[in-house]
Amino acid sequence: MVAIGVAILLYRKRGYLAGLGMKQIAKKDEYKREVMTLFAVAGARVRNDDVQALLSVSDATATRYLTELEEEKLIKQVGDFGKYVWYEKR
């Protein structure tokens, strides 16, 4: 419950609450936690395609989750473009 409270504060600060309901916020947080567990299973490198397969989401949604995790300083992007991009846990 505390994690959801923190997420709400962060989303309010960034202005994300305007279009998201509480269930959507909780689901998004759950998906981001699942992405983080992928780093333990997949090893040091996780690609956008891995996130798409894990969550059954679009390329854009997988990119958005990875970008948000990167902004939260939990992961870092390696590489610059296309198939040469992967993410590592910080």
Q: Which tens digits make up the pLDDT trace of 2-45?
A: 555 555 555 555 555 555 688 888 899 999 999 999 888 867 78
- By DSSP bridging, strand 75-78 and strand 86-89 are antiparallel
Instruction: Report the distance separating Cα 59 and Cα 74, nearest Å.
Output: 20
Which residue ranges make up each domain of the chain?
2-89
d(CA 61, CA 27): 13
Average pLDDT over residues 60-86: 92
Tell me, what's the pLDDT at 5?
57
CATH assignment of 2-89, among 3.40.50.720, 1.10.10.10, 1.10.3720.10, 2.60.40.10: 1.10.10.10
pLDDT at position 39, please?
Answer: 87
